[in-house]
């Protein structure tokens, strides 16, 4: 279909295969319709096709695809292509298409095609099926074709003297005879098999060839000949410099356009215009060019610059590889300075060849227009050219006629009064810009900036980025500074934080490159440290903490080098922001130090304000977490705003240092100040943190209420960063109380918002939300994927808190799935990661719970006691681990410690964490206390919660606990069997093999113990069977008298689901010794095997 994409200078074997033809499905359907019409001689339907499109858009490739399909359908394909100088050779494309047929044919075939015979009798043939067609003699055909193909007479062994014309014809008659001879030749060739005559680059064809093409379209409309031509859109002439030639060509083009219209109207011809590839097709084309993994940013840059033009895309890729700006390493493409890619010469030359067709005056106009940008207002160009509107309109019409420009006025609804035009292709604009000499370009950019500023008037601020660019290129220093600052403010207000950083960095670069008195000359603009702080705040909002911290440190270093007249408010603000960075990074000592520096600066500011209360010195920018506004602000207002931020930063640190009592009044104080000032951002932040303090448990609905109030305020001020944070919190809270639809809604909305605005700091937390939701519903692979994404975000952004809780969640996932070895490694990593965070207590408790459940009693005791002795964390980082802590103590036979938490567990009734229903653990603790009624109700509530949230793994776990309690209470075996069957079915559906084994052991053991149970029931008082806590303790004591300590340890581990090998590893004994202990246990307990021993241990309350 086309040549492979390969460059001999670039040895890349993956480019050897041909590039797939993509993105032209609709066009191929038209091609197939045409071929079907010809192949089956359908009475209706066009038999000619014209493919049009801009340079490089894929016209020739579509023609090649057509020819390939035709060959596969057993067509004879005749191909030819004109070139730019071909207009000087009449009928060149037809000569090139037909000559190979005449040369390759046998003498017999050739005689048939041209109708020759020995006697040259005037045999007449009826060509076509139209009776109105005038027949042409064979001699006339040969004589006429010999003018185009002089070698023809030699091929048929005919003497030239025999072709002497005896009749005199007018030029029109000679032309008709030639056209008819070629038509007859094509018909005779097509009598053997259908023919496709494919002519490429008809925009360069001579006028005689075009006339012949139109003639054949009409003449052969009922023949088995498909005429296919490829050309550029109307308006493109042949590049003649002579004015008269241009006029002639323009007239010819107009006639051709009218003829095409008539042919289409009569149904004889299809016109197939090709547009740019859609983004999906362009992406597939790029993947075909570059086998391997291509980073998204590189792909996006290439696709954007090529604008769906396959040729441009290929040449850009080729240039990147040839210049070693794109290198394949281990299957991944690595880039260096891709954004600075210079247009390849192949593209430049192609574009310049097209621009050469324009008049010199029009090209000059386009060069100036290109400096204004791809989309430009025409009034500014008129001003710079110093021409009348009518004169410029003539140039515009010429450019529009050549598809260089298009009217863009209707596309800009905000400014309907401004007439704008757009370059149809961005690369054409680039080429034109490069043609302007640098010195002339500077003058034009400066003049253009002034003209645009005048034109926009009071709306100039909305075009700050455009003005800043022109003034920078024009060398206007003060204007460049001013408009970059305004552009940065505009971008920040629109949450385009990275763009805002770019503008502020330009200001810094300009100030750093200027002389020592630069800031004195521009004293009315922000200083360097102020710009550093602004950039730092933007990085902070994006979650790029390292970048933010670096900016704040540079600002502090710059402030320390300056005189004492620097505003204490700026010092306070910089220290407070740096403290926020350190707080999130869990570097609490540095955070405390900078908060103390903030307090000192604010006290100094208060003293200065007291002395200059009546002076009313205005400030040029608002401190806190806003951006420059370049209006006069009351300094008292600025001071109050910074105090609010300081109070809230202090409260946040108090919370993380586990001093919620001290934090709460500080937050309410900041909230009251914010209300008085009308500062909705600070109001929202105070409510958000207050909701964090309320936490889980009995205050959870108040937590939700405060969170929603905060979110409404953030939305009202268009703060996507804080809004996404609140949505993340609401998502996980709703998940904890079983409202999965709400959880999914808030999480998905937050993720979309974070991605849309590039708020990276919250994306990891939202991935963690998705992992937690998938965990609850047993979607293990989805959970693992989301948690891995969260961990990667934590590592990329150096977020210690996110890293710790993500490792905690991954450990719980492996624990639930029965992968205990992986779970232990993850728990240990989580402990290390959580060391300096508020997740340390919960991670320690969960690790202890894991160790207790899996039989490592000594190590579990250390972790659980340590967790219980830590000060309880506040807010959402606390409480949720309490049920796990209690269950862990139960596994260690530390019942008194477990029952201490019963009320705190009951406060979290109806919640679930990491897929574990609090009600299940409440039921276990209640059963151990002998409170069967509470246990039964807790289990039923837990089952209802699991069914509502589709949490089937936990539903199975609750059923298993119900079966254990039923066994302890000597319930009927049929009841135990029914519960175990339901649990086993659910565990099997989630591939939880270890849990399945435990259920099967319990089920079999209950059946095997049935005779003993009946005997025990008949010889024991009823209150012993239904049981109390004291009864269970007597059973355990009785069991301990029967078995040795080591046998009790073995039985406990086996009952908790450990294999013999795992028991041996935990007790540091051999597997043979484990088997010997099990044999002794079976004999002493008089049970038939392992399952019965497990059931006996459960019934006796050992596990």
Most confident of 286-290, 550-554, 855-859, 1000-1004: 550-554
Average pLDDT on 1016-1041 reads: 43
DSSP result, 31-76: HHHHHHHHHTT-SSS--EEEEE--TTSSHHHHHHHHHHHHHHTT-E
Residue indicated by tokens 């991670």: 843
CATH number at 966-1099: 1.10.10.10
The pLDDT, as a whole number, for residue 124 is 37
355: tokens are 């621009």
Among 66, 26, 3, 351, residue whose Cα is nearest residue 200: 66
| Percent of the chain that is helix, strand, coil (3-state, to 5) | 70, 5, 25
Burial of 417 (0-12, 13-18, 19+ CB in 10 A): exposed
Can you read off the two tokens belonging to residue 1029? 């806590």
Strands of 76-81's sheet, edge to edge? Answer: 76-81, 195-200, 225-231, 48-52, 269-273
Q: What is the CATH number of domain 25-273?
A: 3.40.50
Residue 864: per-residue pLDDT: 94
Distance (Å, whole) CA 221 – CA 133: 13
pLDDT at 25 over 60: yes
Q: Is 756 exposed, middle or buried (0-12, 13-18, 19+ CB in 10 A)?
A: exposed
Classify strands 225-231 and 269-273 as parallel, antiparallel or unpaired.
unpaired
Q: Which pLDDT band, with edges at 50, 70 and 90, does 654 fall under?
A: confident
- Whole-angstrom Cα distance, residue 589 to residue 583? 9
In angstroms, the CA 317 to CA 322 distance is 9
The DSSP code sequence of 742-788 is HHHHHHHHHHHHHHHHT-HHHHHHHHHHHHHHHHHTT-HHHHHHHHH
Over range 972-983, report the average pLDDT.
Answer: 90
Give the Cβ contact number of residue 979 at 10 Å: 25
Number of Cβ atoms within 10 Å of the Cβ of 837: 23
Mean pLDDT to the nearest integer, 341-346: 80
Helix (H) or strand (E) holding 227: strand 225-231
Percent of the chain with pLDDT strictly greater than 70: 84
* Residue of 579, 156, 1054, 849 whose CA lies nearest to 141: 156
pLDDT one-digit tens code per residue, 978-1013: 999 999 999 998 888 888 888 888 888 888 776 554
Compute the residue count for the chain.
Answer: 1103
Pairing of strands 405-407, 332-335: unpaired
Give percent of the chain with pLDDT exceeding 90.
29
DSSP line for 1009-1020: THHHHHHHHHHS
Q: Is pLDDT at 634 greater than 60 in this prediction? A: no
pLDDT band at 195 (very low <50, low <70, confident <90, very high): very high
Read off the tokens for 6: 């390969």
- Beta strand 332-335 with 326-329: parallel, antiparallel or unpaired? antiparallel
Query: CA-CA distances (angstroms) from residue 124 to 120, 134, 172, 184?
Result: 11, 10, 22, 12
Q: How far apart are CA 481 and CA 486, in angstroms?
A: 9
At CA 1066, angle to CA 1060 and CA 1069, rounded to 5?
70
Helix axis angle, 296-306 to 426-434, nearest 10°: 80
Do 577 and 536 touch, CB atoms closer than 8 A? yes
With a cut of 80, say whether residue 949 has pLDDT above it.
yes
If you average pLDDT over residues 19-29, what whole number do you get?
A: 84
Q: How many helices (H) and strands (E) does the chain have?
A: 53, 12
Structure tokens at 1071: 């597997």
pLDDT tier at 239, thresholds 50, 70, 90: very low
Q: Which residues of 161-188 are buried (b: 16+ CB within 10 A; e: fewer)?
A: eebeeeeeeeeeeeebbbbbbbbbbbbb
Assign a CATH topology to domain 799-942: 1.25.40
Band (145; pLDDT cuts 50, 70, 90): confident
In DSSP terms, 422 is beta-bridged to: 375, 406
Question: 849-859 burial, b for 16+ CB within 10 Å, e for fewer?
Answer: bbbbbbbbbeb
How far apart are the C-alpha atoms of 540 and 530, rounded to whole Å?
Answer: 15
* Greatest C-alpha distance within the chain: 138
Place of tokens 């801009």: 54
Report the pLDDT value the prediction gives residue 521, as an integer from 0 to 100: 58
**pLDDT tier at 120 (50, 70, 90 boundaries)?**
very low
Higher pLDDT, 810 or 18: 810
**pLDDT value at residue 234:** 62
pLDDT-wise least confident of 177-186, 326-335, 664-673: 326-335
Contact 551, 533 (CB under 8 A): yes
CA distances from 920 to 45, 252, 495, 795, 945 (A): 74, 88, 45, 35, 10
Answer yes or no: are the C-beta atoms of 651 and 667 closer than 8 Å: yes
Q: Identify the pLDDT of residue 343.
A: 81
Q: Does pLDDT of 155 surpass 90?
A: no
Quickly tell me which residue has 């075939």 as its tokens. Answer: 109
At 378-396, the pLDDT tens digits run 988 998 888 888 999 999 9
pLDDT in tens, 491-518: 888 778 888 999 999 888 888 776 555 5
Q: Residue 195, SS3?
A: strand
Minimum mean pLDDT among 87-101, 367-381, 469-483, 723-737: which range? 87-101
Q: What is the pLDDT of residues 750-794, one digit of tens each?
A: 999 988 887 778 999 999 999 999 999 889 999 999 999 999 999
Task: Give the model's pLDDT for residue 622.
Answer: 41
At 10 the three-state DSSP class reads strand
pLDDT classification of 409: cutoffs 50, 70, 90: confident
In the structure encoding, which two tokens stand for residue 1016, read together?
């025990």
Residue 520 has a pLDDT of: 58
More confident residue, 235 or 289: 289
Query: CB-based burial of residue 720 (10 Å sphere; 0-12 exposed, 13-18 middle, 19+ buried)?
Result: buried
Please tell me the distance from the alpha carbon of residue 652 to that of residue 592, in angstroms, as a whole number: 11
Angle among Cα 1033, 1038, 1040 to the nearest 5 degrees reads 95
CB 694 within 8 A of CB 706: yes
- For 58-112, how does the pLDDT look when each residue is reduced to its tens digit (9 = 90+)? 888 999 999 999 999 999 999 998 877 655 678 889 999 999 998 888 888 888 8
CB 271 within 8 A of CB 283: no
Q: Which of 874, 537, 572, 581 is nearest to 721 (CA)?
A: 537
Higher pLDDT, 162 or 1100: 1100
Measured CA to CA in angstroms, residue 508 lies from 504, 511, 549 at distances of 6, 5, 17
Q: Please give the pLDDT value at position 1025.
A: 33
Section 432-442 average pLDDT: 91
Query: Is the model's pLDDT at 627 over the cut of 70?
Result: no
How many other CB atoms are there within 10 angstroms of residue 524's CB atom?
Answer: 9
Q: Is the pLDDT of residue 50 over 90?
A: yes
- Is residue 205 classed exposed, middle or buried when 0-12, 13-18 and 19+ CB atoms within 10 A define those classes? buried
Average pLDDT over residues 964-989: 88
- How much is the pLDDT for 1092? 78
Site of tokens 């992986």: 822
545, 799 Cβ separation under 8 angstroms: yes
pLDDT of residue 67: 94
Q: What radius of gyration do the chain's Cα atoms show? A: 42
- Give the confidence band of 130 by pLDDT, cuts at 50, 70, 90: very low
pLDDT given for residue 765 in this prediction = 94
**Beta strands in 389-499, from DSSP E residues, in sequence order:** 405-407, 420-423
Q: Are 21 and 1 in contact (CB under 8 A)?
A: yes
- Least confident piece of the model among 156-165, 326-335, 460-469, 526-535: 156-165
- CA torsion sign, 901 to 902 to 907 to 913? positive
Which pLDDT value is given to residue 66?
94
Residue in this structure with the two tokens 């990891």, named with its chain if needed:
764
């Amino acid at each position: 279909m086309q040549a492979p994409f390969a460059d001999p200078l670039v040895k890349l074997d993956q480019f050897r295969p041909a590039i797939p033809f993509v993105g032209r499905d609709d066009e191929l359907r038209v091609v197939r319709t045409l071929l079907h019409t010809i192949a089956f001689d359908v009475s209706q339907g066009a038999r000619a096709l014209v493919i049009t499109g801009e340079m490089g858009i894929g016209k020739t490739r579509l023609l090649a695809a057509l020819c390939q399909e035709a060959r596969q359908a057993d067509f004879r394909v005749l191909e030819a292509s004109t070139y730019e100088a071909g207009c000087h050779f009449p009928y060149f494309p037809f000569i090139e298409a037909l000559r190979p047929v005449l040369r390759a044919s046998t003498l017999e075939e050739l005689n048939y095609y041209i109708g020759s015979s020995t006697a040259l009798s005037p045999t007449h043939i009826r060509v076509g099926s139209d009776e109105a067609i005038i027949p042409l003699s064979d001699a006339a055909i040969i004589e006429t074709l010999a003018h185009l193909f002089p070698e023809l007479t030699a091929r048929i062994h005919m003497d030239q003297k025999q072709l002497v014309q005896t009749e005199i014809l007018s030029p029109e008659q000679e032309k008709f005879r030639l056209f008819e001879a070629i038509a007859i030749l094509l018909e005779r060739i097509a009598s053997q098999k259908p023919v496709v005559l494919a002519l490429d680059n008809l925009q360069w064809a001579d006028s005689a060839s075009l006339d012949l093409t139109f003639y054949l379209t009409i003449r052969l409309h009922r023949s088995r000949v498909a005429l296919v031509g490829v050309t550029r859109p109307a308006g493109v002439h042949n590049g003649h410099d002579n004015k008269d030639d241009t006029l002639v060509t323009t007239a010819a083009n107009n006639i051709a356009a009218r003829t095409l219209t008539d042919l289409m109207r009569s149904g004889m011809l299809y016109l197939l215009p090709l547009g740019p590839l859609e983004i999906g097709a362009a992406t597939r084309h790029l993947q075909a060019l570059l086998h391997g993994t291509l980073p998204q940013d590189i792909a996006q840059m290439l696709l954007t610059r090529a604008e769906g033009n396959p040729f441009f895309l290929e040449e850009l890729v080729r240039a990147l590889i040839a210049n070693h700006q794109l290198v394949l390493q281990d299957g991944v493409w690595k880039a260096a300075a891709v954004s600075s890619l210079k247009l390849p010469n192949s593209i430049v030359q192609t574009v310049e060849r097209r621009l050469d067709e324009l008049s010199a005056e029009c090209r000059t106009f386009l060069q100036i227009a290109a400096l204004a940008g791809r989309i430009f207002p025409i009034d500014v160009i008129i001003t710079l050219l110093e021409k009348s509107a009518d004169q410029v309109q003539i140039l515009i019409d010429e450019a529009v006629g050549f598809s260089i420009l298009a009217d863009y006025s209707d596309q800009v609804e905000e400014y309907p009064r401004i007439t704008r035009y757009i370059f149809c292709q961005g690369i054409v604009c680039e080429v034109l810009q490069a043609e302007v000499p640098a010195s002339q370009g500077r003058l034009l950019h400066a003049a253009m900036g002034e003209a645009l500023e005048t034109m926009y008037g009071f709306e100039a601020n909305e075009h700050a980025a455009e003005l800043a660019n022109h003034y920078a290129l024009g060398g206007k220093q003060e204007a460049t500074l001013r408009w970059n600052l305004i552009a940065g403010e505009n971008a920040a207000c629109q949450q385009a934080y990275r763009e805002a950083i770019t503008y502020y960095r330009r200001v810094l670069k300009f100030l750093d490159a200027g002389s020592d008195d630069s800031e004195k000359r521009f004293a009315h603009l922000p200083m360097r440290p102020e710009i550093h702080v602004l950039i730092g705040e933007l990085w902070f909002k994006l979650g790029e903490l390292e970048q933010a911290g670096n900016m704040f440190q540079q600002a502090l270093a710059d402030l320390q080098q300056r005189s004492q007249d620097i505003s204490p408010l700026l010092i306070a603000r910089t220290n407070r922001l740096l403290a926020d960075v350190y707080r999130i990074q869990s570097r609490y000592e540095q955070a405390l130090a900078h908060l103390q520096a903030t307090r000192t600066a604010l006290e100094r500011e208060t003293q200065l304000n007291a002395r200059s209360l009546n002076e009313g010195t205005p400030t040029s920018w608002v401190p806190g977490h806003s951006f420059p506004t370049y209006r006069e602000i009351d300094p008292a207002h600025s001071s109050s705003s910074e105090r609010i931020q300081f109070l809230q930063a202090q409260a946040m640190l108090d919370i993380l240092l586990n001093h919620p009592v001290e934090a709460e009044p500080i937050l309410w104080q900041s909230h009251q100040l914010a209300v008085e000032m009308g500062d909705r951002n600070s109001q929202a932040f105070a409510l958000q943190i207050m909701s964090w303090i309320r936490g889980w448990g009995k205050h959870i609905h108040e937590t939700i209420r405060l969170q929603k109030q905060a979110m409404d305020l953030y939305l009202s001020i268009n703060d996507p960063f804080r809004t996404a944070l609140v949505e993340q919190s609401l998502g996980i809270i709703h998940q904890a109380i079983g409202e999965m639809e709400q959880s999914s809604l808030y999480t998905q909305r937050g993720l979309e918002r974070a991605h849309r605005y590039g708020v990276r700091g919250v994306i990891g937390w939202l991935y963690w939300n998705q992992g937690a939701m998938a965990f609850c519903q047993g979607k293990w692979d989805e959970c693992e994927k989301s948690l891995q994404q969260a961990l990667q975000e934590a590592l990329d952004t150096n977020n210690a808190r996110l890293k710790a809780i993500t490792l905690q969640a991954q450990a719980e996932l492996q624990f639930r799935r029965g992968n205990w070895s992986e779970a232990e490694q993850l728990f240990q990593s989580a402990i290390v990661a959580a060391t300096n965070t508020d997740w340390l207590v919960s991670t320690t408790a969960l690790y202890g719970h894991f160790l207790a459940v899996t039989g490592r009693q000594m190590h579990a005791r250390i972790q659980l006691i340590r967790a219980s002795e830590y000060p309880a964390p506040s807010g959402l980082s606390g409480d949720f681990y309490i049920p796990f802590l209690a269950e862990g103590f139960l596994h260690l036979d530390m019942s008194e410690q477990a029952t201490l938490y019963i009320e705190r567990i009951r406060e979290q009734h109806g919640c679930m964490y990491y897929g574990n229903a609090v009600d299940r653990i409440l039921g276990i603790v209640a059963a151990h206390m002998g409170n069967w009624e509470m246990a039964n109700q807790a289990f039923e509530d837990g089952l209802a919660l699991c069914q509502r949230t589709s949490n089937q793994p936990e539903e199975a776990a609750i059923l298993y606990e119900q079966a254990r309690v039923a066994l302890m209470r000597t319930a009927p075996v049929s009841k135990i069997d029914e519960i175990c069957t339901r649990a086993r079915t659910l565990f099997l559906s989630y591939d939880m093999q270890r849990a399945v084994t435990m259920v099967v052991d319990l089920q079999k053991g209950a059946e095997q113990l049935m005779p003993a149970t009946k005997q025990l029931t008949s010889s024991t008082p009823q209150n012993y069977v239904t049981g109390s806590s004291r009864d269970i303790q007597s059973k355990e004591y009785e069991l301990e008298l029967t078995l040795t300590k080591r046998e009790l340890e073995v039985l406990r581990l086996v009952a908790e689901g450990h294999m013999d090998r795992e028991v041996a590893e935990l007790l540091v004994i051999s597997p043979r010794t484990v088997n010997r202990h099990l044999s002794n246990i079976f004999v002493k307990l008089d049970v038939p095997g392992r399952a019965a021993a497990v059931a006996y241990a459960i019934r006796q309350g050992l596990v």
